[in-house]
Amino acid sequence: MSIDELRAVAEAVLFAAGNAVTVKDISIALGVDINKTIEIVRGLMDKYKSEKRGISVIEVGDSFQMCTNIEYFKNIKNIYDMPVKKQLSTSVLETLAIIAYKQPVTRGMIEEIRGVNSDRAVNKLIEYNLVSEKGRLDAPGKPILFGTTDEFLKYFGFTNLDMLPALEAEE
């Protein structure tokens, strides 16, 4: 298959899925290796961007997703009952920052850093699908470990966790 045909197949896979698709799954559909798959999908991303298309492809972790181009959101929001972006309170944002930078982390670890009970904030983040359970700590009581989700990356426009701003060193 030519590059154009491979891009067309990748486009079809992303369109049909409606959600993020792992590079591995796209690679299987294309019948090429992972590196070639990334090259093809990123080429598709560049093509959409340069042509100012109504849709775009975003990279989320080790996955790609087709979505509406953010530049045209204002044009379509009035005709659809669009979900409102979740507003995060200060306490929820503090908790999310701790989880993002320290993950995997338990509620106890979060509360030790914040100095207050964080049950409500953690539950809100789970409800918003910004964090999820990532296993259990091998310690008495086997506390739940929490980490961020792909939805967290999408919410903040990150491709991966390496895009988190660097923390300033404490004095």
The mean pLDDT value for 11-17 works out to 93
CATH number of 90-163: 1.10.10.10
Q: Give the DSSP H/E element, type plus range, for residue 35.
A: helix 34-50
Instruction: Give me the pLDDT at residue 157, please.
Output: 83
Residue found by looking up tokens 């591995």 in the block: 24
**pLDDT in the model for residue 84:** 58
**Domain extent listing, the chain:** 3-76, 90-163
> Is 44:57 a contact under the CB 8 Å cutoff?
yes
State residue 9's pLDDT score: 94
Mean local confidence (pLDDT), 145-152: 92
87 token code pair: 């507003």
- Check: CB of residue 163 under 8 Å from CB of residue 111: no
Share of the chain above pLDDT 90, in %: 60
pLDDT value for 76: 80
Cis peptide before 143 (omega within 30 of 0): no
CATH code of 3-76, in short, is 1.10.10.10
Question: What's the CA gap between 141 and 49, in Å, rounded?
Answer: 50
Equal fold, 3-76 vs 90-163:
yes
| Residue 146, strand partner residues | 105, 133
Q: Identify whether the C-beta of residue 65 lies closer than 8 Å to the C-beta of residue 157.
A: no
pLDDT at residue 36 in the model: 95
Across residues 150-171, what is the average pLDDT?
A: 82
Q: Which residues of 30-64 are buried (b: 16+ CB within 10 A; e: fewer)?
A: bebeeeebbebbebbbeebeeeeeeebbbbbbebb
Output the average pLDDT for the chain.
89
Q: Is the pLDDT of residue 168 over 80?
A: no
The pLDDT assigned to 22 comes to 94
pLDDT digits over 116-133, tens only?
Answer: 999 999 999 999 999 999
Report whether pLDDT(70) > 80: yes
pLDDT at 110 over 90: yes
